[in-house]
């Protein structure tokens, strides 16, 4: 079973920051927070992951609360191409550890 | 980033036939690959974990005799849907992680199977 909870859908205006929340209150000490997104009829795309420190890359920023029970993915300047289903997943970072998907958040970027 | 390729991207077959889907890691070695399937407007459901050189581990409720998985090399895993039926029509997706990577899984483009 997925160990994360996300809102089923969100809307954001183009050019604004999109902030996607995720609750993972049962996360264990060895588990990282991963974010993926899936654009319609494509395979999921890796976005970012982190353990406890905030992370930033060319796609997004990941803010993890100090108690690690929740996190927020931030797309700083959303574009129409960011419309997708975003999945927040907790997982240990070892190769054989499977990724269990929850229902994700369907983010719609509006012009 | 690492590239995972699936083939075919789309396949249509008749009921009762078998279909093979390939998953390749193009620029890295993967001891473990995962197979998912996804029905319309639903999330990805993990079917099985494919380990190079050993038998796959199937999730509860997934028939191992119907969904044959072979992981013969560090860059190739195959999923064969045997005696396919219309209810097997779905989007099948594989993923893989680098042996010495930072833990992120990379996904293929997916294979859409339609069984008539």
Q: Is the pLDDT of residue A95 over 80?
A: no
Mutate to test the interface with B, among A44, A97, A100, A106 (most CBs of B within 10 A): A44
> Any CB–CB contact under 8 A between B97 and chain A?
yes
Which one of A49, A87, A100 has the shortest CB-CB distance to B104? Answer: A49
Among B31, B103, B109, the residue with its CB nearest the CB of A93 is B103
CA quadruple A31, B32, B61, B12: dihedral sign = positive
Nearest CA in chain B to A104: B43
Judged by average pLDDT, the poorest of A47-61, B85-99, B100-114 is: B100-114
Residue B101, pLDDT above cutoff 60: no
Average pLDDT over residues A50-69: 95
Nearest-Cα distance to chain B for A91, in Å, is 9
Tell me whether residues B43 and A104 touch, CB distance under 8 A.
yes
Residue B103 has pLDDT above 70, yes or no: no
Nearest chain B alpha carbon to A84: B41
pLDDT single digits (tens) B34-47: 999 999 989 999 99
Peptide linkage before B8 cis (omega within 30 of 0): yes
Chain B residue numbers touching A104 (CB-CB < 8 A): 43
The predicted structure's pLDDT at residue B110: 96
Given a contact cutoff of 8 angstroms between Cβ atoms, the answer to whether B105 and B96 are in contact is yes
Q: Is the pLDDT of residue A68 over 90?
A: yes
Mean pLDDT of A74-90: 96
Q: List, for residues B49-89, the tens digit of each pLDDT value.
A: 988 888 899 999 999 999 999 988 889 999 999 999 999 99
Highest mean pLDDT: which range of A40-44, A95-99, A105-109: A105-109
More reliable by pLDDT, B32 or B5: B5
Tell whether the model's pLDDT for residue A61 goes beyond 80. yes
Q: Check pLDDT > 90 for residue B48.
A: yes
Mutate one of A33, A38, A43 to test the B interface: name it (highest B CB count within 10 A): A43
Give the minimum alpha-carbon distance from A41 to chain B in angstroms, rounded to a whole number. 8
Out of B43, B51, B110, closest to residue A43 by CB = B110
Q: In which region does residue B110 sit, left (phi positive, over 0), alpha (psi from -120 to 50) or beta (all else)? A: left
B41: left (phi > 0), else alpha (psi -120 to 50), else beta? left
- Looking at chain B from residue 61 to 80, which residues have their Cβ under 8 Å from any Cβ of chain A? none
Cβ-Cβ contacts under 8 Å, A32 against chain B: 103
Q: What is the pLDDT of residue A3?
A: 87
Cβ neighbours, 10 Å, residue A98:
17
What is the share, in percent, of chain B residues with pLDDT greater than 90?
Answer: 72
């Amino acid at each position: 079973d997925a160990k994360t909870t996300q809102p089923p859908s969100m809307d954001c205006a183009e050019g604004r920051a999109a902030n996607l929340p995720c609750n993972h209150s049962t996360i264990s000490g060895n588990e990282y927070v991963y974010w993926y997104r899936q654009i319609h009829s494509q395979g999921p795309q890796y976005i970012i992951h982190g353990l406890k420190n905030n992370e930033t890359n060319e796609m997004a920023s990941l803010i993890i609360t100090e108690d690690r029970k929740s996190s927020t993915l931030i797309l700083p300047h959303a574009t129409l191409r960011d419309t997708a289903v975003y999945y927040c997943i907790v997982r240990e970072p070892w190769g054989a550890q499977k990724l269990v998907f929850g229902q994700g958040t369907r983010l719609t970027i509006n012009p | 980033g690492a590239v995972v390729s699936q083939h075919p991207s789309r396949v249509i077959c008749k009921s009762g036939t078998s279909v093979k889907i390939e998953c390749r890691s193009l620029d890295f070695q993967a001891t473990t690959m995962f197979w998912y399937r996804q029905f319309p407007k639903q999330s990805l459901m993990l079917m099985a974990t494919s380990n190079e050189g050993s038998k796959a581990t199937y999730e509860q409720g997934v028939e191992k005799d119907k969904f044959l998985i072979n992981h013969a090399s560090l860059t190739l895993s195959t999923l064969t849907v045997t005696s396919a039926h219309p209810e097997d029509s779905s989007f099948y997706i594989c993923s893989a992680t680098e042996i010495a990577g930072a833990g992120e899984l990379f996904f293929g483009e997916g294979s859409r199977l339609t069984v008539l």
